[in-house]
Amino acid sequence: MGRISFSCLFPAPWHFSLSSQVLPRLLTPSLRQLLFIGLVLCLIGLLYLLLVTGKGHASWIREENHFHRHLARVTDVDATDTSNPDLNYGLVVDCGSSGSRVFVYCWPRHNGNPHELLDIRQMRDQHRKPVVMKIKPGISELAKSPGKASDYIYPLLSFAAQHIPKNKHQETPLYILCTAGMRILPESQQQALLEDLRTDIPVNFNFLFSDSHVEVISGKQEGVYAWIGINFVLGRFNHVHKDDGEAVVEVNVPGSDQKEAQVRKRTAGVLDMGGVSTQIAYEVPKTVSFASPQQEEVAKNLLAEFNLGCDAHRTDHVYRVYVSTFLGFGGNAARQRYEESVIRNTATRNKLLDQHTGETAESPLLDPCLPEDLQDEIGPSTEKLYLRGTGDFEQCRQILQPFLNRTNETLTSLSGIYQPAIDYSNSQFYGFSEFYYCTEDVLRMGGDYNASKYAKAAKSYCSTQWKSLRERFDSGLYASHADLHRLKYQCFKSAWMYEVLHSGFSFPANYKSLKTALLVYDKEVQWTLGAILYRTRFLPLRDIQQESLKGLHSHWRHSFSFVNNHYLFLACFFIVVLSIMLYLLRLRRIHRRTAQHCTPSSVPWMEEGLGSPTIPINL
């Protein structure tokens, strides 16, 4: 049987090739024009795609910049832009012993970074004044008529509602937090007042409010909130940038599985001495040890461990803070305790020795804690005692030491209360209220505290005759808010503050990192700021989730549509062109191989389209 060979006539594609002489002949004028036009169109298309890609990328950048402008920080001094739809609001009512105040706070949408906290600031009105309102007396005065509690609080909430856009009311959290005035009431009276608020407020206002949003907070909570507020204003919770030269501290994060200490910004401790109580709060970065099981049990009530961050699984903002409040250790309360002791001891001594010291102005009792020659009267009319100051600062300090109620136990402070060790070499404290008034109002030494200079100035003041001090006061040499009460008891309070700080809290005399202040960055920092920071800590989760979805959509819409789509098209185009070129080169090599097995006449037949030649048949 004969066999017909078609390999030279119809080679398979992978066998077909064109020689350098055949290719120009295959590229007819029409085909050459088409290829030329194709190349020109390809170049034009490439330029167009590059321009579109650039514009798309620029548009993306512009939209991103616009977005970040919306997330700009809320300034501290500018009036709040209530027309900004991305601005959120929150309310905290501080129900204190002498009155109640409502604070209105605002913040932009969270930026989506779980390492950062909400940027909360006090809202400011059109005159750039903080939106705050206060009423008197304290809510505790309504203990016997709890049904009036909601009427009492109504003016505060009505005031706040006028400053917040109405369409934002429903998503604005409201917290009503009661402090010392309510804490001293019986539990039944507390609950009656709170229940009236829980029942009536949702009827009159559309704020985000639930039963848990109104409560009587403990002194420990109040101290933690104050610590949070001050450190937030100081920027100590910003752990993202650690190369800004600020002091850092190694922290064993509570509840963390990490064995190595975490390094983050050093927080500031707080010292606050009011008229009635004194408080101290500071972070305890290292794991603490206890001298006894009893001390450990006490410490549980003084150490607060909490997470300020929105994600419970992250430890960036987990803190262990020691907070202790000492009732009766405020400036005025200490003076009252001192006077009661003087009256009691003098009466006993006069009775035993049959004396009449202090019973008349002609035979006054000498008091080293009053300025020299100052005459004063203390006690009720039946036990009135006449005093004359000797202005001896050092003697006054010695007399006041027993009032600290110190013990010999380790890691204790005032009244023998547990106090974890402070790393004085790497710490910073801010002193408020009497810590500032004692240093600034009369002595004009507010700011960086220096124990030796302070003691010297206090000693000089105490030893100055009262007549001279009055002349200075009348001449306006002291702070504008210093009054005669401050002048009379400056010597006593100076000595009391010094003893509380150095003998009570055991701060070394050469400690250089205490700043006494009335304001932080020129503004009053209330514990209410810390309260809303802590209580809204989970709100960023909503914004982070929204930003994640928006960011994902934006990424694919801008980055893929304007950039990746075009680059993908260009890549496919060049792959096709490259494939054609490789195909033609492959054809050339195949043609060289097949040309050795085919007759020369077969090629012209194919090229010229001539009639079919005689096909050889092998029999």
Nearest to 376 by CA among 339, 331, 351, 334: 339
Tokens at 58, concatenated: 């620029």
φ, ψ at 167 (rounded to 5°): -70, -5
Angle at 322 between CA 316 and CA 327, to 5 degrees: 145
What stretch of H or E contains 594? helix 565-595
What stretch of H or E contains 155? helix 149-163
Task: Tokens 């009055």: give the residue.
Answer: 470
Beta strands in 422-479 (DSSP E): 429-433, 447-448
> In terms of DSSP bridges, do strands 447-448 and 429-433 run parallel, antiparallel, or are they unpaired?
unpaired
Is 431 marked within a binding site? no
Task: Tokens 């009505």: give the residue.
Answer: 158
How would DSSP label each residue in 102-142? EEEEEEEPP-S-TTS----EE-B-TTS-B-EEEESS-GGGG
Is 279 marked within a binding site? yes
The Cα 435–Cα 517 span in angstroms is 8
* Catalytic site positions: 222
Tokens at 598, concatenated: 């085919």
Residue 455 in contact with residue 291, Cβ under 8 Å? no
* Furthest CA-CA distance within the chain: 159
Burial of 285 (0-12, 13-18, 19+ CB in 10 A): buried
Query: What is the torsional sign of CA 252, 253, 254, 260?
Result: negative
Is 276 marked within a binding site? yes
Using DSSP's 3-state secondary structure scheme, residue 326 falls into: strand
Helices within 256-376 (DSSP H only): 293-300, 331-353
The partner residues of 89 in beta bridges, in order of sequence, read 106
Q: What is the 3-state secondary structure (H, E, C) of 67-89?
A: HHHHCCCCCCCCCCCCCCCCEEE
Residue 314 in contact with residue 237, Cβ under 8 Å? no
The Cα 425–Cα 56 span in angstroms is 55
Q: How many CB atoms lie within 10 A of CB 593?
A: 11
Beta strands in 168-261 (DSSP E): 174-178, 214-216, 248-251
Binding residues: 275-279
Binding residues for ATP: 275-279
